Amino acid sequence: MRILVVEDEKKVAGFIKKGLEEETYAVDVAYDGEEGLHMARENQYDLIILDLMLPRIEGLEVLRQIREGTIDTPVILLTAKDSVEDKVRGLNKGADDYMTKPFAFSELLARVRVLLRRGKADTKTVLQIDDLTLDLVSHKVNRNGEEIELTGKEYSLLEYFMRNKGKVLTRTMIAEHVWDYNFDTFTNVIDVYINHLRKKIDKNYPKKLLHTMRGVGYVMKD
């Protein structure tokens, strides 16, 4: 899952980015409304966290232009304003949720999870391919009843594959959804991580689930 945070307070933005990355999300950050609008238009995000009081273009205008551009990505507004009128104005502009500062990260994370589930037709909390399972709540991965220890990035990679069962995923698609805006697509990092993941989920099992499509990308299937 890839999330865009548009927040001009660098300490707040860093706090949100660090917390979300610890939960295995890929996170991009924009520090003003103009940059945030550009990134929302140019990249595919699963969720946007948008501050209202931004330099260059204020948050509600960013939201208006996002929605007019037919981008239906879920948006959580962040603001120090807590009046009912401000909340109603933001929701009427197309926001999906609203949080006032200061906030507890645990609450923000809960709201993020709710909106990400709502945006999916499938609301299951456990993904499964053959005898491999991934629990989206506990972050535990098991194959044939045995727990598999994964790093945060390996977990994100596996989740992306399992959410796209049977689909061939190119390196560009993987980079966009699992890594962030600053990822260097000319390195072999993706291949390295996929090899690590394959050793953990496939090496000791006769049936292989993760396959290489030479010249195209990778696919996970039964």
pLDDT tens, residue by residue, 8-45: 999 999 999 999 998 889 999 999 999 999 999 999 89
Q: Are residues 31 and 130 in the same domain?
A: no
Give percent of the chain above pLDDT 70. Answer: 95
Q: Are residues 48 and 153 in the same domain?
A: no
- Per the structure, the complete domain to which residue 138 belongs is given by 126-220
Q: CB 98: neighbour CB atoms within 10 A?
A: 20
Average pLDDT value for the chain? 90
- Cα separation, 101 vs 81, in Å, equals 8
Most trustworthy range by pLDDT among 76-90, 118-132, 151-165, 176-190: 151-165
Number of domains in the chain: 2
Q: Are residues 99 and 181 in the same domain?
A: no
- Cα separation, 6 vs 13, in Å, equals 8
Q: Are residues 139 and 172 in the same domain?
A: yes
- Cα separation, 222 vs 207, in Å, equals 8
Q: Are residues 15 and 95 in the same domain?
A: yes
Domain-ending residue, one of 91, 118, 145: 118
Residue 120 has pLDDT above 70, yes or no: no
Q: Are residues 114 and 130 in the same domain?
A: no
Q: Are residues 99 and 130 in the same domain?
A: no
User: What pLDDT score does 206 carry?
Assistant: 93
Q: Are residues 97 and 149 in the same domain?
A: no
| Domain of residue 130, CATH code | 1.10.10.10
pLDDT in tens, 64-73: 999 998 888 9
Domain-ending residue, one of 68, 90, 118: 118
Q: Are residues 132 and 156 in the same domain?
A: yes
Residue 6 has pLDDT above 80, yes or no: yes
User: What pLDDT score does 121 carry?
Assistant: 46
Per the CB < 8 A criterion, the answer to whether 136 and 125 are in contact is yes
Domain-ending residue, one of 68, 86, 118: 118
- Cα separation, 8 vs 29, in Å, equals 9
Q: What is the DSSP string of the chain?
A: -EEEEE-S-HHHHHHHHHHHHHTT-EEEEESSHHHHHHHHHHS--SEEEEESS-SSS-HHHHHHHHHHTT----EEEEES---HHHHHHHHHTT-SEEEESS--HHHHHHHHHHHHHHTSS---SEEEETTEEEETTT--EEETTEEE---HHHHHHHHHHHHTTT--B-HHHHHHHHS-TT--TTSSHHHHHHHHHHHHHTTTSSS--EEEETTTEEEE--
User: What pLDDT score does 187 carry?
Assistant: 81
